[in-house]
Amino acid sequence: MDPRILADLTHLPEELGPRSLLVISGPDNPLPEAIHARLPTLPITWLFTTEAYPALEDVDRHELVLVLDALTALDRDQATHMIARLRDLNSESLYVLMPEGGENGWHEQDLIALGLTRVRSYAQAQGNIHLFRFNLKDYKKTPDWLNPRYWANPEMWEKARW
């Protein structure tokens, strides 16, 4: 893993302050140990990518979920279903790494279609790696028209019938 990506993802739990962390990566990824070294009291659940999808049924909801290599290690349908399940059921804040031009043909629009937004890009010789995020708290801003001011219109009750 690129040292810049490792450093950014290691600092991410410090910045967000989650009460629980789920990491989905390969067994040789140094990120879970690096996070544990910096935040020893943070409960970390680590699932290996190839075993993660079936194991998600038994996993509780986590405040922060990091998905590191699912887009390259799993087939496209399985990775899509796993990200959607994590987004909907298992996380409040989800971060996914996407290598550009991977062998499974992932594009930025594919993750945008799942509701994620790109927050950072890392330039590398083999191609860029993008970090995408989904946060339930700021996914959709409440539109101005969706408030009680426009629902009843009491100033028109005696003036007009509609």
What is d(CA 153, CA 138) in angstroms, rounded to the nearest whole number? 29
Going by their DSSP bridges, the two strands 62-67 and 21-25 should be labelled as parallel
Tokens of 128: 């860029």
Mean pLDDT of the 13-33 span: 94
Can you say whether residue 127 is alpha, beta or left, with left for phi > 0 and alpha for psi between -120 and 50 degrees?
Answer: left
Give the Å distances, CA to CA, from 90 to 20, 50, 53, 127: 11, 17, 12, 30
* Predicted pLDDT at 151: 66
What is d(CA 99, CA 83) in angstroms, rounded to the nearest whole number? 15
Mean pLDDT of the 66-93 span: 93
pTM of the model: 0.84
Superfamily of domain 3-156: Vaccinia Virus protein VP39 (3.40.50.150)
Cβ neighbours around 115 below 10 Å, total: 18
pLDDT single digits (tens) 39-78:
999 999 999 999 998 898 899 999 999 999 888 899 899 9
Q: Is the pLDDT of residue 160 over 80?
A: no
Mean pLDDT of the 137-144 span: 76
C-beta separation of 128 from 100 below 8 A: yes
Name the residue with higher pLDDT: 63 or 145.
63
Of the candidates 111, 37, 127, the one whose C-alpha atom is nearest the C-alpha of residue 67 is: 111
Q: Is the pLDDT of residue 139 over 90?
A: no
Mean pLDDT of the 13-36 span: 94
Q: Is the pLDDT of residue 147 over 90?
A: no
Q: What is the mean pLDDT of the chain?
A: 88
CA of residue 38 relative to chain centroid, distance:
21
* Predicted pLDDT at 150: 62
